[in-house]
């Protein structure tokens, strides 16, 4: 069942806040990584490079949870569990450049490795939990 990402939870993800991505591995353990994220069409959008472990785990699991704390208040956070609905190279280079602008104020992603192929993912929210400030 789909959930809606709107209001303050959407603002937190759209802001310059780092995301904690948790993905189930096939052995039952959970892989967690810190990633850049944003929102588009109500989805949580992520970007990576082919060959890394977390994209493969995401593809196998088909689901992940993204938790983002609001800047300045670690007790205000949003957690989104979503289903993988997009996995594409189309627009991935433009997306990583937009994320670089958002997070490090660079027009072009500066950490690119020669031969690297970027990939973008979209997670459609199934559960959204917001913990408001106290």
For residue range 34-71, what is the model confidence (pLDDT) as tens digits?
Answer: 999 999 999 999 999 999 999 999 999 999 999 999 98
Q: Cβ atoms within 10 A of the Cβ of 46, count?
A: 26
Average pLDDT over residues 13-17: 96
Average pLDDT over residues 80-109: 98
Nearest to 19 by CA among 50, 55, 45, 51: 45
Query: What residue has token string 């850049």?
Result: 36
What phi-psi label fits residue 36: left (phi over 0), alpha (psi between -120 and 50 degrees) or beta? beta
How far apart, in Å, are the Cα atoms of 37 and each of 69, 80, 98, 108? 12, 12, 10, 16
Please name the fold of domain 7-131.
Pnp Oxidase; Chain A (2.30.110)
Mean pLDDT of the chain: 96
Q: How far does Cα 23 stand from its chain's mean position?
A: 11
With contact defined as beta carbons under 8 Å apart, do 71 and 103 qualify?
no
Record the tokens describing residue 90, joined without a space: 């189309």
- Residue 72 pLDDT class (50, 70, 90 cuts): confident
Record the tokens describing residue 19, joined without a space: 């995301």
Interatomic CA distance for residues 120 and 134, integer angstroms = 35
Q: Cβ atoms within 10 A of the Cβ of 125, count?
A: 22
């Amino acid at each position: 069942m789909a959930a809606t990402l709107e209001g303050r939870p959407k603002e937190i993800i759209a802001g310059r806040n780092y995301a904690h991505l948790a993905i189930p591995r096939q052995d039952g353990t959970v892989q967690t990584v810190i990633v850049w994220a944003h929102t588009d069409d109500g989805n949580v959008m992520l970007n990576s490079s082919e060959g890394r472990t977390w994209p493969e785990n995401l593809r196998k699991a088909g689901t992940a949870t993204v938790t983002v704390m609001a800047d300045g208040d670690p007790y205000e956070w949003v957690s989104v569990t979503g289903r993988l609905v997009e996995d594409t190279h189309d627009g991935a280079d433009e997306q990583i450049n937009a994320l670089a602008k958002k997070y490090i104020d660079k027009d072009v992603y500066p950490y690119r490795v020669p031969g690297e192929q970027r990939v973008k993912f979209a997670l459609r929210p199934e559960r959204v939990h917001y913990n408001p400030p106290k």
